[in-house]
Amino acid sequence: MKKECVFCTIKKEEKILETKHCYVYPDKYPLSRGHILIVPKKHYESIMAMPDEVLFDVIKTVKLMEKRLIQRLKVEGMDFRENYRPFVPESNLRKAHIHFHIIPRTFKDMIYRAKGEIKRKEISEKDKAWLIKKLK
Ligand SMILES: [Zn+2]
């Protein structure tokens, strides 16, 4: 646990789900409705540092959450990703505590096709509460 780490110190009551090794949270700056994060409880800096048992717990959680997104939010498709970019200074864009994104996608969305960077708005308290309730 690192005191200055956003994922080590995140408010646990804002979680959607807790498993033996990880938490699921709404993304703070969602790229689409239903964008969630799967965050190992322990502070690992990369996938290479994660024990297989924790990796298996993460991937089982991905399976569960993808099912819930389809069933409960009527999501059509999604990206599952992790950004390992140790060359970027730690900031709002990069966290040293590994986490995995599930980003709901549609055929027409402009994620990755927009010119320049997409303006990401912080999730509202209302939307966060709705998502937690919906996916719990
Ligand atoms: Zn951490």
pLDDT at residue 58, as a whole number: 98
Domains and CATH numbers, the chain: 12-83+90-135 (3.30.428.10)
pLDDT at residue 116, as a whole number: 63
- Distance from the CA of 105 to the center of ligand 1, in angstroms? 28
- Distance from the CA of 63 to the center of ligand 1, in angstroms? 23
- Distance from the CA of 1 to the center of ligand 1, in angstroms? 6
pTM for the structure as a whole: 0.89
From CA 18, how far away is CA 25, in angstroms rounded?
Answer: 9
pLDDT at residue 26, as a whole number: 97
Residue 116's region, left for phi above 0, alpha for psi from -120 to 50, else beta, is left
Q: What is the pLDDT along the chain (136 residues), one digit of tens a residue?
A: 676 888 998 888 889 999 999 999 999 999 999 999 999 999 999 999 999 999 999 999 999 999 999 999 999 999 999 988 888 887 766 778 999 999 999 988 877 776 666 677 899 999 999 999 999 9
Q: Based on the number of CB atoms within 10 Å of its own CB, is 131 exposed (0-12), middle (13-18) or buried (19 or more)?
A: buried
The closest of 98, 87, 2, 6 to 47, measured between CA atoms, is: 98
pLDDT at residue 67, as a whole number: 98
- Distance from the CA of 111 to the center of ligand 1, in angstroms? 27
Q: What is the largest CA-CA distance in the chain?
A: 41
From CA 2, how far away is CA 4, in angstroms rounded?
Answer: 6
- Distance from the CA of 44 to the center of ligand 1, in angstroms? 7
- Distance from the CA of 22 to the center of ligand 1, in angstroms? 12
- Distance from the CA of 74 to the center of ligand 1, in angstroms? 32
pLDDT at residue 87, as a whole number: 85
